[in-house]
Amino acid sequence: MNNFLVHDQKTTAEMLDVIGINSIEDLFKQIHEKARMQSLNLEDALSEMETQKQIKKLAKTNKAEYITFMGGGVYNKFIPACIQQVAQRFEFLTAYTPYQPEISQGTLQVMYEFQTMICELTGMDISNATVYDGATACAEALLMAVRISKKSKALVSNNINPQYKAVIKTYAWAGGVEIEWFDEIPANISDYACVLIQNPDFYGEILEVTPVDTLLIVCTDISTLSILKPPSEYGADIVVGDIQTLGIPMEFGGPHAGFIACREKYLRQIPGRLAGRTVDADGKQAFCLTIQTREQHIKREKATSNICSNQALIGLCATLYLSLLGKNGFYQVGYLSCKMAHLLSEKLAAKGIKTLNKNFFNEFVIEVQNADEFLTNLKENGILGGIKLDDRHILVAATEMITEEDINFYLKNV
């Protein structure tokens, strides 16, 4: 352990002599003095007991007990307590990255079950075992479509999540892909690699999607598929999204995970990892990493991505969530979210506050006189009333965590 001890004066002097300088200060002479921190100005050290008291005092200043009607990609969902109990078991909660083929059968089975559930919900043939998040999934799917079609232009809806837009722009710039943003799909799209839409879109609107003359990528909130028809039924070739609504805490925006699912004929172009089920030499069920398309595993020119990762622990939470709820429970959660959102919209309309959506699931846009004043008043009364879109428009969401009592309290303070 000597390597981890602080250098004594003798060792420091020897090191300085070898590199030809007289003091540690000389190491930083290239940095202008104005740009260098002269002192940290730290207070006197506290004991462990004093530190705990100070932290608890600071923690009490936080306001955490808000009723939240915020969405926009991150939602307040009910999470069964046993999810964290299982996910935090030492077999799963590990720093070991589950890329390698020698990872445990338990982790491989979870990946396999996750893929199966995603396929059942989206109607796709193949799913990977997660990527970083929904934004990454959109961008990776776009590049996937470019590889399949061998075309370098793509159509992307203006009404997708702004954070997803930003990631797509970065990927497209680095990958030499030309993006055209649209409000309505152009008439002639045969020259484009794909059309990417979000359904329901960022503003909560449920789209009427018709087949297109190119690859169709659909970004979806997976929890809406508890009620809405799967994207496969309206012509999707690739389906992507974030799984935060499947038992993943909001946690200041992350970490979350995304998924990519597609038709079987595009199997070799899907990024990430796929777990498969087989039998071992004794004829017993066994799981393995069937497809690994990172450049660490295959020739660089054949790799589908060099940075997309596998959020195995988050995928485990989602798998546990869907397993615990089952088909009926998953439907009930979706039904309650949808019901509460429509109830709020109706009651707001009765107060003269207009909803701009024609069709929505659990998220919608309202028009108010002054968005800042509207949201500030709600926040002062313990309510996070939505996401400000501009001076007069607010994106509002409801989940199964919202009750009719919460809605009435919302209305009382607008």
323-382 pLDDT per residue, tens: 999 999 999 999 999 999 999 999 999 999 999 999 999 999 999 999 999 999 999 999
3-state helix, strand, coil in the chain (%, to 5): 40, 15, 45
For residue 49, give the H/E element and its range. helix 48-59
Q: What percent of the chain has pLDDT over 70?
A: 93
Domains 67-77+326-412 and 81-321 share a fold: no
Q: How confident is the model at residue 40 (pLDDT cuts 50, 70, 90)?
A: confident
Locate the domains of the chain by residue range. 67-77+326-412, 81-321
pLDDT above 50: residue 149:
yes
Q: DSSP label at 50?
A: H
267-307 pLDDT per residue, tens: 989 988 889 999 999 999 999 888 876 655 666 667 777 66
Would you tell me which CATH number, out of the four given (3.30.70.940, 3.40.50.2300, 3.90.1150.10, 2.40.30.20), belongs to the domain 67-77+326-412? 3.90.1150.10
Weakest mean pLDDT among 28-37, 94-103, 242-251, 398-407: 94-103
Q: How confident is the model at residue 97 (pLDDT cuts 50, 70, 90)?
A: low
CA-CA distance, 27 to 9, in Å (whole number)? 16
Is the peptide bond preceding residue 186 cis, with omega within 30 degrees of 0?
no
Q: DSSP label at 323?
A: H
Mean pLDDT of all residues in the chain? 92
Architecture of the structural domain at 81-321 = 3-Layer(aba) Sandwich (3.40)
The 10 Å CB-count burial string (b at 16+, else e) for 95-108 is eeebeeeebeeebb
pLDDT above 90: residue 264:
yes
CA-CA distance, 270 to 144, in Å (whole number)? 7
Per-residue model confidence (pLDDT) at position 1: 45
Task: Return the higher-pLDDT residue of 230 and 43.
Answer: 230
CA-CA distance, 317 to 321, in Å (whole number)? 6
Per DSSP bridges, beta strands 126-127 and 153-157 are: unpaired
Task: Return the higher-pLDDT residue of 98 and 145.
Answer: 145
pLDDT above 90: residue 102:
no
Mean pLDDT of 316-328: 97
Distances, alpha carbon 356 to alpha carbons 185, 335, 387, in Å:
21, 21, 15
Q: Are 255 and 242 in contact (CB under 8 A)?
A: no
Nearest-5° angle of CA 137, CA 138, CA 143? 95
Per-residue model confidence (pLDDT) at position 262: 98
217-253 pLDDT per residue, tens: 999 999 999 999 999 999 999 999 999 999 999 988 7
Distances, alpha carbon 38 to alpha carbons 41, 45, 68, 119, 197, in Å:
9, 19, 44, 57, 52
pLDDT above 60: residue 82:
yes
